[in-house]
Structures are given as structure tokens and as C-alpha cells.
Amino acid sequence: MKDPQMEPKELTTNRKAFLVNLDQNVYGTFAEIGAGQEVARHFFKVGGAAGTIAKSMSAYDMKFSDEIYGKASRYVSRERLIQMLDHEYALLNERLSADRGKDSTFFVYANTVAAASYHSNKNCHGWMGMRYQIRPEAPPNDIIVHVRMWDKTPTAQQEALGMFGVNFIWASLIYFEDIDMFVSSLIDHLGIERIEVDMLEFHGPDFKKLDNRIVAMKLVENGLTNAVMFGPDGNVRQPSEELYKKCILVERGSFRPVTHVNLDMLTCAGAQFVQEDGVQGEEVMAMLEMTMKNLLGKDEQIDYDDFKARIDTISALGYHVLVSNYMEYYRLSAYFRRFTQKTVGMVLGINHLQAIFDEDYYDHLDGGILESVGRLFKANVKMYVYPMKGEGYNSFITGSNEKTSSDNFAREMVITADNLKVQSDLRHLYAYLLENHYIEPVVGANISHLEIFSRETLKQIAEGDPEWEKSVPREVVDVIKERNFWGYSEKNDE
């Protein structure tokens, strides 16, 4: 199918559709419901569609859609997409396998989309899927993707969706063995300013060796999205389906490894969070969050073994994990506002709070730190600040570029949000946030845990010092030992 002499830049949307149509072995169904009525059109208009399309159908009315595919809790959802793939592939196989099964690789492309309308341009997103064979008579595979459309008009969104659908089908057929090419080609002739891809999954016998967690990270690395989520089972999750209309409690850290301190932070802050007026009686999503920068190694590349170790150890504790490109907390807050208007609690240590009050971070904002604070706290956001001992705080200040107006604290002194000293010209701003409960000191912290530092724990693991086991939860100890994470070896126990 692929023209070996063709440069990637020559693979226009129409050219991709035409080359697919020329392949007499690829044969299948297009099913598009809701606003996603654009993809099949590309294959019809370029010519040769009779060799590719067995059936094309669309359903716009919800009742028609229900009659065909059955009821779903939400029409634009993964659940509905799977119903479509199941139904259409079963029909395709039933009606054509006897006549064409030995020579054809069957496929079903399906999408369900909510695009901008004359009434609203909010929450414009869609689910797409390919169920297809790589070889005739082979069991099928699934590739599932979730997208968000950022164009402002229905016409522009439909155009972008049609182009993306062709890119997706092309990548599924051509680049299924090259995940980097697959991901980068999804936005050919589009750009990330028009389409965001925040979930991509591969399932099936031909993708058994492919780790969907790494696929998710490729989306962030390539700029197709700024955040991806993993569930307590370690699998990729779609953020909108996990966070929709929930209160959110999130703790940022490195979690290398997750320690008793990390859990104590979340537990203590959580006890305060659920007592808030806007949280009582509401469903709360507690999660841990890491930034992409935190995952980069010395060569500025992601160490995927280290990444998987962090995800697996957190999963052992039953928490969701978010990996984001949002270094600034106000950007993280804005991200959550896509999915919920309910209360958001952010759990952080004294060191991170000190960094928030470093004005150098906000040179790119016209309003500087005042603008960042306004963005962060404008929408029902609170920060819960975990204490730190003077020794650890002094070490942080000495080893960083953070500005502080205070002298070193006594080694055993406990630094809290109440007694932290920020730059003199920011003290009134800080006092305002503290007095109005935008910033809350975490109470009930286990003081003995303040002696634990993850970098020291990590060093102990690699050096075979059994003291590391005292710093992490039992579930994490078991996973590290079982999978030899971070240089652990059974010889360490001898």
C-alpha cells in the first residue's frame, strides 16, 4: 500500500485515503454517529472506494442509534464506541467471511462525536476506534483513541475530524509496528492547536508486547496532549470519564519510590478536605501527580523502566496517577476545570509552596505572581501544605535557587504553612491567602515520617541497605522486591 518513494510531506489526507482504496485486500465498514460524519466522505471523494468500503452508515438521531447498537449511559463514550465495533464487526464477519475471508483483511472504523453547535462549543470531543485484521483469517485487534477538538466553529471541527480520521486509519494500517510514527502521524496536516489526543490504546493478539502506558507517554512527549492518566490497575484511563463532576484531591511528587510521607500527606489532607462545605457528601477522586520534567533523566529522555516502576508501585496502593506537562499549579487547576466545577484540593510540601512564591517562575505572565495566584485560586481551589523539619527545609533552600527572606531554621523545628516566611514583599499576599483559607496547614501529620526523604530511600535500595523497607508501605516493598525495581536484588536480603 505504501509508496516507498513518497516523502511523508507528500502524504496528504486525500493521498492517504486513495492509497488505502487501492489496496484490494483491505475491506470493511465505516460507522459514524453524532457529529462525526466526515471520515468516510474522504474515501468516497478520492475514488476507488468500491474496493475498500463494504458499508458506510451514519446515525444522528439518538433513538436510531439505540435501536442499532443498544442503549448506553452516554452517547459519546468508550462504551458506545465498543458497542459499535462489536455490532459492525460481527455483521461484517457474518456476511462476508465466506466469500472474502481468505483474501481480505476486514476492518471496522467507528466514531461517536460531540462537536460544536450553534448553541454551544463546550466539551467538543470524540471517540474513534479501528477493529481490524492484520492478516486474512486472523483474529482482530482494536485501536481506540479519544480526541478533543479546539476549533471554534462546527465547520472547522468537522474538517479537522475528517482529516484526523484518515490519519488514524492510515496509521493503523501502515504504522502499527512503529509506535513513534503512529503517534506523530496522527496530526499530519492538522497540528496540535486543532486536535488533542489524550488517550490511545492498542489491544489484541498482534499488540501483546505493546505497553499502553508507554503509548500514553508518547502522546505527551509528542505534544499531542499535556496530561495522561493511569488507573489503580495501572492501565490507561480517559481523564474526562474518571474526573467528571467529582471533587479532586491531588498530591504532586516524584514518588521514586512512594513513601510513608506521601501517604501521610494524602491521608491527613484528605481528612481535612472531606470536611469542606463543598466536599461533604460528594464523590472524591484522590490521585498522585507527576510532571514530565520529573520523569526526565540526565539525558533529558524518559527512563521508561523507572516510569513503569513508579506507576506499578503507586498502583499497588490503589491510587490513580496523572502525568502532566503542567509545571505551574494554576495550569494544573485549569486542566481540572475541563471536567469538574467542584472543589479541588492540592496537597504539597513546604518546598513546593516556597517555589510557588518565587516570582521568577512568572516572568512570562503580564501580571506576574498576582496573575498566577488569581488564576490558581479563582475557582474553588485550596492548598493543603504538609509540614517539614528545619533540617530538610534548610537542605532544600541551600540546594535550590528559591528565594527566602528567612535565616536557616533549627534542625528539629517543624516548618508549617503558619510559620513559613516568604519574601518580604510577598508577605501580605501570603497572609491574605492564609487568613482566607486558600492555603491550609495540614494537621495531624506523623512527625516521625518527616525524617524520610525519597532520594535517601532510593539510594538505600540500590546499595542493599535494608533500612529502606522502613520508609515505604508494605505493598510497595513487595512490588519492589518482586520486580527488582531501582536496582534492588535478592542478594540484598542474604
What per-residue confidence (pLDDT) applies to 5?
A: 44
CATH topology of domain 240-451: Rossmann fold (3.40.50)
Between the two ends of the chain, the Cα-to-Cα distance in Å is 58
What per-residue confidence (pLDDT) applies to 263?
A: 97
pLDDT tens-digit profile of 262-295? 999 999 999 999 999 999 999 999 999 999 999 9
Which residue in 322, 310, 324 sits closest to 230, CA to CA? 322
Beta bridge partners of 144: 129, 201
Question: C-alpha grid cell for residue 401?
Answer: 535557587
CATH topology of domain 8-225: Maf protein (3.90.950)
Q: CA neighbours within 13 Å on the CB side: how many for 485?
A: 27
- Residues 111-125 have a mean pLDDT of 78
Question: C-alpha grid cell for residue 378?
Answer: 479563582
- Residues 394-415 have a mean pLDDT of 61
pLDDT tens-digit profile of 452-461? 999 999 999 9
Query: Which residue did the predictor score with more confidence, 411 or 95?
Result: 95
Residue that the C-alpha cell 475557582 belongs to: 379
Name the band, by pLDDT with cuts 50, 70 and 90, for residue 378: confident
pLDDT tens-digit profile of 188-202? 999 899 999 999 999
- Residues 235-243 have a mean pLDDT of 93
pLDDT tens-digit profile of 120-135? 666 799 999 999 999 9
Residues of the chain with CATH 3.90.950.20: 8-225
CB-count burial class (<10 Å; 0-12, 13-18, 19+) for 61: exposed
- Residues 45-54 have a mean pLDDT of 94
For residue 486, the Cα-to-chain-centroid distance in whole angstroms is: 24
Asked if residue 227 has pLDDT above 60, the reply is yes
Residues in Cβ contact with 460 at an 8 Å cutoff, skipping those fewer than 6 apart: 466, 467, 468, 471
Asked if residue 50 has pLDDT above 60, the reply is yes
Q: How many CB atoms lie within 10 A of CB 106?
A: 24
Tell me the C-alpha distance between 384 and 347, whole Å.
Answer: 5
Residue 123 Ramachandran class (φ > 0 left, ψ -120 to 50 alpha, else beta): left
Q: Is the pTM of this model over 0.75?
A: yes
**The amino acid at 26:** V
Mean pLDDT of the chain: 91
Residue 146, CA distances (Å) to 121, 150, 485 in order = 18, 13, 32
Residue that the C-alpha cell 479519544 belongs to: 146
Residues of the chain with CATH 3.40.50: 240-451
- Residues 360-382 have a mean pLDDT of 91
Query: Which residue did the predictor score with more confidence, 320 or 192?
Result: 320
Residue 389 phi/psi, 5-degree rounding, is: -80, 155
What per-residue confidence (pLDDT) applies to 491?
A: 63
Asked if residue 387 has pLDDT above 90, the reply is yes
Asked if residue 392 has pLDDT above 80, the reply is no
Asked if residue 395 has pLDDT above 60, the reply is yes
CB-count burial class (<10 Å; 0-12, 13-18, 19+) for 384: buried
What per-residue confidence (pLDDT) applies to 119?
A: 62
Query: Which residue did the predictor score with more confidence, 75 or 340?
Result: 340
